Structure 1
Amino acid sequence: MSDRLAGVASLHPVIQHHLVNTLHWPGLRALQEAAVAPVLEGTDALLLAPTAGGKTEAAILPLLSRMAFEGWTGTSVLYLCPLRALLNDLRPRLHGYAAWLGRSAEVWHGDVGQSARRRILRDQPDILLTTPESLEAMLVSTTVDARHAFRHLRAVVVDEVHAFAGDDRGWHLLAVLERLSRIAARPLQRIGLSATVGNATELLTWLQGAHTDRPRSLVAPHVSDTPDTDVTVDHVGTVDNAAKLLSVLHRGEKRLVFVDSRRRAEELAAALRARDVTTFVSHSSLSAAERRRSEDAFAESRDCVIVATSTLELGIDVGDLDRVVQIDAPRTVASFLQRLGRTGRRPGTSRNCLVLCLDKAAVLPAAGLLRRWLDGWVEPVTPPPHPRHIAAQQMLALALQEHTIGLNTWRAWWGDLSLFDRSAPAIMRHLVDSGYLERDGDLAFVGPEAERRFGRRYFADLTTVFSAAPEFLVLAGREEIGRVGDDALIADVPAGQPRVLLLAGRGWQVNHLDWQRRRCYVEPSELPGRASWLSWGDGLSFDVTRGMRAVLLGAELPGVALTRRASAALNDLREQHASHVTLEGTLITRSGKGDLRWWTWAGTAANRTLHASLPAVVDERQRIGDSALRLRPDLSLDDAARILRQPSDLRLPDINEKALAGLKFSAALPEDLARETVAARLADTTGAATVLDEPRKFVHDAAG
């Protein structure tokens, strides 16, 4: 028997039959082969492979075999995804596999209607595809008997697990899984699916939550036949120039263009349509129906472009792509790999990405990121520290789920999950003292403050752990187009001119605003529109910024093509920063205008930490960036050198009210814990300590 058929022989005979006769597979891929044994044995596992590497089948086919071999009944498998669109995309495939064995798979999320929900609760599917937020809503719902719905649960598949683990949704996911495990009265087999990450072993241990004593297996077979990679960097100057280039470049092909914001997506889509390019748009503020129309139309077309934010970074199927284009560089190597992996799926094709930099300065982050990629480096997936606000949310959610929460027994629901640290008792006291929970002896139930803050639509706001700025629903007649921020509706317009929005790549004239219901009624317009949403970036990491420094110091990008414009821009940047970089550590320079700057090349979070830790030398009033800090103008170079030679304890950044408001459920925490939580997430003490330990060279300019 060949190696490619060995794993097939362990699967259920019906699945073996369909693999050969329905799918016409000659065997399993390397990942699928390696995953069969650990999944069949009930081992927790992390399955690693590039995009389109067959991870879904690697998990589901052995689980279906277990389901048949062991006679599982009811809803025994959960399949969790970060995006509803990804669930919708996967459901037909998983239902088809399940049907081979007379089993079923169904989707449950916010877009699923009440009649479909009633049917799912009545005729329980064997596989339920959902999101952690929808699971939470089911657990606290008055219309769902969670103990009945999940009593047969055996296994959980977490798709794109790295996307969860890197933010608070991951902590929420782990906490919900612990509650489900207690309801099912058994540990749940946990299987994570992920693209390449820099710390796979730690990610698998994290996924196990409070059950790290269970057996686990990291499944990441080496694949030697990876497709060729074609990466090009260009400097185009403006969005309009990018549209002009895309209108003539690779005509006749399907091009997926990634941008860094919803506003940029709308502007580029409008510019492309103005050049008669068949263009579609996908971002989070478009309605689900509008996004699906775009994605379906793009999948069925050939000579076209779809402009997207990170909504299409994950594995949603938009058909065979010819090209991926990136407007400016993404912030992480992991995102670049995800986007690059959308191409090169057909035999004989290469993975490709064209990076179009909109201004000269953007060429340097692109080069720095690509340098780190060429080094074989990928960001470790690090869960956000101190998720105390999620601990508070979980306490309230458990009180809703059980109608009461035991003030001395609540920990039993989560075991040793690290979500609940030494601050947990103080959080519980705060919830009781502040009226979020109302005490009745050794029990507590949901109190008036929780009702006031989170009680709308039966605590719907309590089931989602990320904050979103308030937006207006945009309606053309009864058709939902999407959502826009308030600033797009209050910005000044010339007297006598209509207010026109840019949404879904088209212009919409505003006819009426219902401020109380937050609805905006529009009609199509040929006039140019305005797109605007409040947003803020996190800056670049220490490692990517150090990649930028390496490029400035002469590091090459072998295998990456730089156009003549990009090469010229990079040469100009190297000349511009020639006195700001050194192999010997960091530089402190005084400009001709007297500005004193410390060129740390440490990334925004590390510079933010240094800014907070060194008030005697760092200018208090400045916008923190990736590459440098402005020092106090009254200091001489000798003063700066003397102060920096003194030992310094690192401090967390000071937190303003705006930053505190961005932490959802922060009001459910004691204020000191809320501020500590936000501060820890804005800091990089490791990067800051590295900079402080490096040699510093002080440069006296003639003009200084």
Structure 2
Amino acid sequence: MENNSIKLLDVDLKRWMFKKGWQSLLPIQEKSIAPILERKNDVIISASTASGKTEAAFLPALTAIHKTRELSGVRILYISPLKALINDQYRRLDEMTEFLKIKVTPWHGDVSISKKNQILDEPEGIILTTPESLESLLINHKSWIESSMKNLFYVIIDEFHAFMGSQRGYQLQSQLHRIENLIGKRVTRVALSATFSDANGVMSYLRPNSSIPCEVITAAKSSEDKLSVQIKGYDHIALDDPELEGKVLPKEFDAISDDIFRLLRGSTNLVFCNSRFCTETLAGKLEQKSKSRFVPNEFFPHHGSLSKELRESLEYRLQEGRWPTTAICTATLELGIDISDVSSIAQVEHPITVASLRQRLGRAGRREHNAVLRVFIPEALTDTKKTELYEDTVMTVAMIELLLERWYEPPLEHEYAFSTLLQQTLSVIASYGSVSTKALHELLCKTGPFSLCTPKIFMQFLKCLGEKDLIVQLNDGSLALGLEGEKIVSNWNFYAAFDTPKEFTIEHEGHQIGTIPLSQDLIIGDTFLFAGRGWKVNFFSQERHLIGVKAYPHDAQPLQMNGSAGHIHNEVRKRMFEIYRNRKVPVYLNKVAAKHVLQGIEQFERMHLEHSHIYDGPTGIALFPWQGDKVIRTIVLMLKKESIDASAYKSHIELAYTPKDSLKVAVYNILNYENISGTDLIKKVNNLDREKHDSYISMDLKRMSFAHSELDIEGALDFFAVLRKEL
């Protein structure tokens, strides 16, 4: 078993490896030993799920701290996005450190106060925590961090890809920067992540605004890894009562639940849905099927709104593996707990992104290197007034093709992240008592993760906080918490940078017709389908979470109520175009799904979309940019500014009652503007409170942030240039 890399490991760890029956280390584990032991560079270990990343990080890290065991305090800080994963890793590390006598302490909301007090009184070894619990430590135990972490060697971040580009990611970046500022030294960061198309492109997310080198260690592509895929299509079946549209799952979900019951019962599976509503309803249908057939129920829901006890009992059942179990879940089970024997992964409706599909597939096929993916896709029939190309099925095929080529979406560009900047500003002030404006900007923006925030923008930001009494200025010019700020910080909910989506009430003539978790932009005059009827927005209140509507007698489409809103990448739509153009019908489609793709291809050809981006049909004009959601969103807003009634529909844009001459004029005007401002385009967008603390931020700053993150003006102008030639 001995080779040059393994010789560097602690002898007691080699005893543990021998006890486990390990004959050798995996290549990624061997490659990680030297750079982690040296502590010169940060390290990203990028490999698929169940590839030995945890051991790759901890074997050398434990060796390093055991060799220097005379140093006191906390030596390794491990950060995970999930408490369930911490509990899982605690068991593994407790076993791994058996011969080293290194203390491992989990620290999160479910850990007892007595256990936390032990580590506060005698800081040592390894702490396993979440960003939320780390926030609490930074606010309430700043002096303890300064003294107990002065000999900290490593910060190990698990599921690093789950943090990137998110509010929690900015929170974590800021926290690690603050810790290093407190202890006065750089700490080696080791990130464990799923595979990336371009792993080098993620290095700036591990340590922003820094010249510290980062070494990326990737696993060799395994020829053993196999993927078995089937896409099952379903025709849309109209409900008997049109009033129920939008309130219950469409009728075709009865057939989907029949197939899930038939195919998955008797084994362990994860079935991912794009919304909690779908998760709950589908789980309910499957439980009823079990009862009606007098068999034990094996189908259980799992999502963030369930109680901790219900979630953990299902997680325990999955881990134990003693009974066949299928979890009907949202993204909550993409990460975390170690489920060793998942037979297959299922996806209901189209996947959200290629990266999330990859993450979900990583939960299956660990033992045999053979992952099984089933996708259940209902599609609307072409008797709708909208232009239909069966885009959901074709988009799923495009994502699977890109997945097989190991292409995944790159991380989101750096954002302003004002909501998390607000949290971190209040957190720093709370931990110190008062802080100067200059020191705050230096810590959080100039050298921290919020680098887009210039001194001028930061002053505008602080002004917002002052106006809402979150902060006050003392006589010496420093900033302290205001009354509202103290109230926010004292609430345990403050430690989390994210929030659950708020429900909006839809109201018509004083009567409530339903509630939705809104995830798309809304402007007065927009139309949508809900409860089987068309509605037009005539009132919107972000503060009251209220959408006022009047009846709309024409065709409309449902509101986006799941996590897929706005995340489809340019590359996915380009691949869809290639599938249509090349008449590609993969063998892994069932008869109905193959029929949908073929009908979509035939419609594509009838509309001559191979050579044109515009279709002027009997129901109006449709535009096909074959670009991602950012570009499509920007095109729609630009056209609306020119009084064109444009709306995004699936992967294209529909123009209602628009003569071609009007479109020509609009395109001419758009291309002749000297400078198009993103903030001007979204002046009529009402719901810009996307993140937890956005309600405290001014509309000017929210518009600037939204335009930076959600619009692509250059991409839209490129499309209009092409469109002008075709018009």
Tell me the TM-score normalized by structure 2.
0.81
Distance 2:104 2:595 in 1: 55
Indicate conservation of the 8 Å contact 1:81/1:160, yes or no: yes
- The question of 1:428 aligning with 2:462 is answered yes
User: Judging changes above 3 Å, is the alpha-carbon distance between structure 1 residues 605 and 624 closer, same or farther for their aligned structure 2 residues?
Assistant: farther
User: Aligned-pair distance for 1:40?
Assistant: 0.5
Correspondence for 2:58 among 46, 60, 63: 60
Corresponding position of 2:282: 268
SS of aligned partner of 2:316: helix
Indicate conservation of the 8 Å contact 1:165/1:383, yes or no: no
Name which of structure 1's ranges 118-127 and 311-320 shifts more when overlaid on structure 2.
118-127
User: Judging changes above 3 Å, is the alpha-carbon distance between structure 1 residues 536 and 371 closer, same or farther for their aligned structure 2 residues?
Assistant: closer
SS of aligned partner of 1:99: coil
- Structure 1 residue identity aligned to 2:299: T
User: Aligned-pair distance for 1:383?
Assistant: 4.3
Corresponding position of 1:578: 605
User: Judging changes above 3 Å, is the alpha-carbon distance between structure 1 residues 355 and 125 closer, same or farther for their aligned structure 2 residues?
Assistant: farther
- The question of 1:677 aligning with 2:705 is answered yes
Distance 1:641 1:203 in 2: 37
User: Judging changes above 3 Å, is the alpha-carbon distance between structure 1 residues 435 and 334 closer, same or farther for their aligned structure 2 residues?
Assistant: same
Corresponding position of 1:90: 89
Corresponding position of 1:393: 423
Name which of structure 1's ranges 599-608 and 319-328 shifts more when overlaid on structure 2.
599-608
User: Judging changes above 3 Å, is the alpha-carbon distance between structure 1 residues 301 and 576 closer, same or farther for their aligned structure 2 residues?
Assistant: farther
- Structure 2 residue identity aligned to 1:589: Y
Unaligned 5+ runs, structure 2: 236-251, 291-296, 381-389, 515-559
Corresponding position of 2:616: 590
Distance 2:654 2:194 in 1: 35
- The question of 1:198 aligning with 2:197 is answered yes
User: Judging changes above 3 Å, is the alpha-carbon distance between structure 1 residues 240 and 412 closer, same or farther for their aligned structure 2 residues?
Assistant: same
- Structure 2 residue identity aligned to 1:350: N
User: Judging changes above 3 Å, is the alpha-carbon distance between structure 1 residues 280 and 301 closer, same or farther for their aligned structure 2 residues?
Assistant: farther
SS of aligned partner of 2:78: strand
Corresponding position of 1:109: 108
Correspondence for 1:291 among 308, 311, 316: 311
SS of aligned partner of 1:659: coil
SS of aligned partner of 1:306: strand
Distance 2:147 2:690 in 1: 37
- Structure 1 residue identity aligned to 2:655: R
SS of aligned partner of 1:231: strand
Residues 233-253 of structure 1: per-residue CA shift (max 9 Å, x gap): 111342221111122225432
Corresponding position of 1:234: 232
- The question of 1:464 aligning with 2:522 is answered no
- The question of 1:25 aligning with 2:22 is answered yes
Distance 1:424 1:647 in 2: 30
User: Aligned-pair distance for 1:292?
Assistant: 1.0
Name which of structure 1's ranges 41-50 and 280-289 shifts more when overlaid on structure 2.
280-289
Distance 2:590 2:639 in 1: 42
User: Judging changes above 3 Å, is the alpha-carbon distance between structure 1 residues 619 and 695 closer, same or farther for their aligned structure 2 residues?
Assistant: closer
Corresponding position of 1:278: 298
Indicate conservation of the 8 Å contact 2:639/2:645, yes or no: no
Distance 1:638 1:189 in 2: 57
Unaligned 5+ runs, structure 1: 472-484, 494-532, 700-704
- Structure 2 residue identity aligned to 1:209: P
1:183-194 alignment runs, 5 A limit: 183-194=182-193
CA RMSD of aligned residues (A): 2.9
- The question of 1:546 aligning with 2:544 is answered no
User: Aligned-pair distance for 1:105?
Assistant: 1.5
SS of aligned partner of 1:330: coil
Indicate conservation of the 8 Å contact 2:639/2:646, yes or no: no
Distance 1:337 1:549 in 2: 22
User: Judging changes above 3 Å, is the alpha-carbon distance between structure 1 residues 187 and 344 closer, same or farther for their aligned structure 2 residues?
Assistant: same
- Structure 1 residue identity aligned to 2:379: D
- Structure 2 residue identity aligned to 1:344: G
Indicate conservation of the 8 Å contact 1:327/1:356, yes or no: yes
Indicate conservation of the 8 Å contact 1:368/1:551, yes or no: yes
Corresponding position of 1:630: 655
1:172-183 alignment runs, 5 A limit: 172-183=171-182
Corresponding position of 2:98: 99
Distance 2:589 2:707 in 1: 39
Indicate conservation of the 8 Å contact 1:46/1:192, yes or no: yes
Indicate conservation of the 8 Å contact 2:614/2:624, yes or no: yes
User: Judging changes above 3 Å, is the alpha-carbon distance between structure 1 residues 625 and 562 closer, same or farther for their aligned structure 2 residues?
Assistant: closer
1:594-633 alignment runs, 5 A limit: 595-615=620-640, 619-620=644-645, 622=647, 625-630=650-655, 633=658
User: Judging changes above 3 Å, is the alpha-carbon distance between structure 1 residues 675 and 460 closer, same or farther for their aligned structure 2 residues?
Assistant: farther
Indicate conservation of the 8 Å contact 2:232/2:593, yes or no: yes
User: Aligned-pair distance for 1:111?
Assistant: 2.2
- The question of 1:255 aligning with 2:269 is answered yes
Corresponding position of 1:530: none
Indicate conservation of the 8 Å contact 1:663/1:678, yes or no: no
1:167-566 alignment runs, 5 A limit: 167-210=166-209, 212-237=210-235, 238-276=252-290, 277-299=297-319, 300-347=321-368, 349-359=369-379, 361=390, 362-414=392-444, 416-420=447-451, 421-422=453-454, 423-432=457-466, 434-440=468-474, 441-452=476-487, 454-455=488-489, 458-469=490-501, 537-539=564-566, 540-554=568-582, 556=584, 561-566=588-593
- Structure 1 residue identity aligned to 2:29: Q
Distance 1:70 1:219 in 2: 25
Indicate conservation of the 8 Å contact 1:660/1:675, yes or no: yes
Corresponding position of 2:694: 666
Corresponding position of 1:529: none
Distance 1:460 1:688 in 2: 43
Tell me the TM-score normalized by structure 1.
0.83
User: Aligned-pair distance for 1:91?
Assistant: 1.3
SS of aligned partner of 2:688: helix
Residues 347-375 of structure 1: per-residue CA shift (max 9 Å, x gap): 3x511201111225431221121232244
Indicate conservation of the 8 Å contact 1:168/1:383, yes or no: no
- Structure 1 residue identity aligned to 2:353: T
Distance 1:486 1:640 in 2: 35
SS of aligned partner of 1:128: strand
Distance 2:328 2:234 in 1: 17
User: Aligned-pair distance for 1:227?
Assistant: 1.8
- Structure 1 residue identity aligned to 2:102: R
User: Judging changes above 3 Å, is the alpha-carbon distance between structure 1 residues 135 and 631 closer, same or farther for their aligned structure 2 residues?
Assistant: same
1:131-150 alignment runs, 5 A limit: 131-141=130-140, 145-150=144-149
SS of aligned partner of 1:358: strand
SS of aligned partner of 2:106: strand
Residues 661-687 of structure 1: per-residue CA shift (max 9 Å, x gap): 223322443431122112322213354
Name which of structure 1's ranges 40-49 and 571-580 shifts more when overlaid on structure 2.
571-580
Indicate conservation of the 8 Å contact 1:389/1:665, yes or no: yes
SS of aligned partner of 1:660: coil
Indicate conservation of the 8 Å contact 1:296/1:318, yes or no: no
User: Aligned-pair distance for 1:19?
Assistant: 0.9
- Structure 2 residue identity aligned to 1:273: E
Name which of structure 1's ranges 657-666 and 290-299 shifts more when overlaid on structure 2.
657-666
- Structure 2 residue identity aligned to 1:424: F
User: Aligned-pair distance for 1:655?
Assistant: 5.3
Distance 2:410 2:563 in 1: 23
Residues 130-155 of structure 1: per-residue CA shift (max 9 Å, x gap): 11121111211279844344333221
User: Judging changes above 3 Å, is the alpha-carbon distance between structure 1 residues 403 and 631 closer, same or farther for their aligned structure 2 residues?
Assistant: same
Distance 1:319 1:198 in 2: 26
SS of aligned partner of 2:574: helix
Name which of structure 1's ranges 321-330 and 402-411 shifts more when overlaid on structure 2.
402-411
Corresponding position of 1:35: 32
Distance 1:666 1:218 in 2: 35
Indicate conservation of the 8 Å contact 2:570/2:626, yes or no: yes
Distance 1:164 1:112 in 2: 23
Distance 2:97 2:721 in 1: 57
Distance 1:618 1:547 in 2: 32
- Structure 2 residue identity aligned to 1:435: D
